[in-house]
């Protein structure tokens, strides 16, 4: 039963077939290429709307579609979240200052498959504490990814991330989570970035989902601004995030959004 293709588990999680991994790899590759290429534009003085417009052009040029344009009324091809912005920062007239850290999150649709990834960038030189936050967030994501294999649970992923972030004196945002994806943007399960080892649904070959921990230097609490999107830390502390789209294979995981130029984490 659990090996039959293309069914939905009792937790509502779609099990995909072998061929579907190829579709996800193609979509993930285009998201990763875009995040590789946009790096050159991240300099003090650029407006976040200009960054988004570069991303929009790259999405069009690649033959993909942006999953975020028109999504619940969102109008842009990226989310750009600077400093204490946790996620869903809206591109606009704000210019980058030297020392800013920012997350750029891009989701593309390619032949019906969704590739969703985000990374951290910095404008000019950043502080040591910003560097540490970014490194811990990156490594926390990979602690989570290392748990991805059949038989482990979603709680194992959350626990590994939380354990690592908190051991480094940082906190895990609870108000946003990763998600199943595939031929849809957001599907079950909610992939929590905290939790109890051994809890939650069991991972099975063919599940596709994102892991996208948001880690804060201060407290985990967030609030959404009046624009209805921008999430910020309540205590104004710096926040950081990395996101990969992954699939469960028979032995472990495939990362669909790996950087072809190895630029995912470049500090
Ligand atoms: N890409 C985000 C995620 O990781 C979702 C952005 S939705 C938007 O799930 F509308 F804010 F763009
Ligand atoms: Co996502
Ligand atoms: Co995303």
Reported as a single tens digit per residue, the pLDDT across 62-80 is 999 999 999 999 999 999 9
pLDDT, residue 267, reads: 54
Q: Which atom of ligand 1 is nearest to the CA of 78?
A: 12
- Could you tell me if 134 and 115 are in contact, meaning their C-beta atoms sit under 8 angstroms apart? no
Q: Are strands 101-110 and 113-122 parallel, antiparallel or unpaired?
A: antiparallel
For ligand 1, mutation pick of 52, 103, 105, 243 (most atoms within 8 Å of CB): 105
Q: Which has the closest alpha carbon to 265: 124, 89, 141?
A: 141
Alpha-helical segments (H) within 5-47: 18-37
How many Å lie between the centroid of ligand 3 and the Cα of residue 99?
23
From the CA of 88, give the closest atom in ligand 1. 11
Q: Around Cβ 163, how many Cβ atoms within 10 Å?
A: 16
pLDDT of residue 1: 46
88: left (phi over 0), alpha (psi -120 to 50) or beta: left
CA-only gyration radius of the chain, Å: 17
CA of 266 to the centre of ligand 2 (A): 21
CATH architecture of 8-255: Alpha-Beta Complex (3.90)
DSSP 8-class letter at 112? T
Instruction: Tell me phi and psi for residue 215, to 5 degrees.
Output: -120, 135
CA distance 246 to 243: 10
Structure tokens at 150: 């059949």
The Å distance, Cα 104 to ligand 2 centre, comes to 12
Helix (H, G, I), strand (E, B) or coil at 109: strand
| Ligand 1 site, residue 244, Cβ cutoff 6 A | no
Distances (CA, A) of 71 to 55, 76, 189, 222: 17, 9, 19, 22
Positions of the chain with pLDDT lower than 70, given as ranges: 1-4, 267
CA distance 116 to 153: 22
Specify the residue with its C-alpha closest to ligand 1, atom 2: 105
Helix H or strand E encompassing 178: strand 178-180
pTM above 0.95, yes or no: yes
Measured from the CA of 106, which atom of ligand 1 is nearest?
1
Separation of alpha carbons 111 and 211, rounded Å: 22
Locus of tokens 């649970």: 153
CA of 185 to the centre of ligand 2 (A): 8
Distance CA 149, CA 9 (A): 16
What CA–CA distance (Å, rounded) separates 127 from 148?
Answer: 33
**Among all chains, which residue has been given the structure tokens 């051991």?**
167
> With contact defined as beta carbons under 8 Å apart, do 131 and 267 qualify?
yes
Q: How many angstroms is it from 88 CA to the middle of ligand 1?
A: 6
122-160 pLDDT, tens per residue?
Answer: 999 999 999 999 999 999 999 999 999 999 999 999 999
Quote helix, strand, coil % in the chain, to nearest 5: 25, 25, 45
């Amino acid at each position: 039963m659990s090996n039959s293709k293309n069914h939905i588990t009792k937790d509502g999680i779609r099990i995909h077939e072998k061929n579907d991994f190829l579709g996800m790899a193609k979509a993930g590759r285009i998201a990763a290429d875009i995040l590789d290429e946009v790096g050159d534009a991240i300099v003090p003085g650029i407006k976040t709307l200009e960054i988004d417009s570069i991303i929009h052009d790259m999405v069009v040029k690649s033959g993909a579609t942006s999953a975020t344009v028109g999504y619940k009324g969102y109008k842009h091809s990226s989310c750009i979240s600077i400093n204490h912005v946790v996620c869903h920062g809206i591109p606009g007239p704000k210019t980058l200052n030297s020392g800013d850290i920012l997350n750029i999150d891009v989701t593309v649709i390619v032949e019906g498959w969704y590739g969703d990834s985000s990374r951290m960038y910095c404008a000019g030189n950043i502080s040591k504490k910003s560097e540490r936050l970014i490194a811990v967030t990156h490594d926390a994501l990979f602690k989570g990814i290392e748990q991805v294999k059949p038989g482990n649970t979603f709680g194992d992923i959350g626990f590994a991330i939380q354990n690592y972030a908190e051991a480094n004196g940082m906190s895990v945002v609870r108000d946003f989570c990763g998600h199943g994806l595939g031929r849809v943007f957001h599907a079950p399960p909610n992939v929590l970035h905290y939790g109890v080892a051994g809890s939650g649904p069991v991972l099975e070959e063919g599940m596709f989902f994102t892991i996208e921990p948001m880690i804060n230097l201060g407290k985990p609490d967030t609030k959404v601004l009046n624009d209805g999107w921008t999430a910020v830390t309540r205590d104004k502390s710096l926040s950081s995030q990395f996101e990969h789209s992954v699939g469960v294979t028979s032995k472990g995981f495939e990362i669909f959004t790996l950087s072809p130029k190895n630029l995912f984490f470049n500090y």
